[in-house]
Amino acid sequence: MPHPLVDQLRFTRQEFRRGVEGVSDDDAARRLMPMNCISWNVGHLAAQEQRYFLTFTQELQPYPEIDEAFSYGSPASTPAFSEMLAVWESITQAVDPWLDGLSPEALPQPLVIHGKERAFTLGSLLLRVIYHYWYHTGENQAVRQVLGHTGLPVFVGDLDGEAPFRPA
28-58 pLDDT per residue, tens:
999 999 999 999 999 999 999 999 999 999 9
Among 25-34, 107-116, 137-146, where is mean pLDDT lowest? 107-116
Whether residue 15 is contained in a domain is answered as yes
What b-and-e string marks burial along 135-152, b requiring 16 or more CB atoms within 10 Å of the CB? ebbebbbebbeeeeeeee
pLDDT band at 14 (very low <50, low <70, confident <90, very high): very high
pLDDT at residue 155 tops 80: no
pLDDT band at 120 (very low <50, low <70, confident <90, very high): confident
What total of structural domains would you count in the chain?
1
Q: pLDDT of 62-112, one tens digit each?
A: 999 999 999 998 999 999 999 999 999 999 999 999 999 999 999 999 888
Whether residue 95 is contained in a domain is answered as yes
DSSP SS3 for 53 = helix
**Prior bond of 34 cis (ω within 30°):** yes
Whether residue 88 is contained in a domain is answered as yes
Instruction: Supply the range of the domain harboring residue 58.
Output: 4-99+117-156
Average pLDDT, the chain: 94
Whether residue 126 is contained in a domain is answered as yes
- The predicted model scores a pTM of 0.94
Q: What integer is the mean pLDDT of 151-160?
A: 85
Whether residue 56 is contained in a domain is answered as yes
Q: Which residues contact 46 (CB under 8 A, 6 or more apart)?
A: 63, 66, 70, 84, 87, 88, 91, 92
Whether residue 44 is contained in a domain is answered as yes
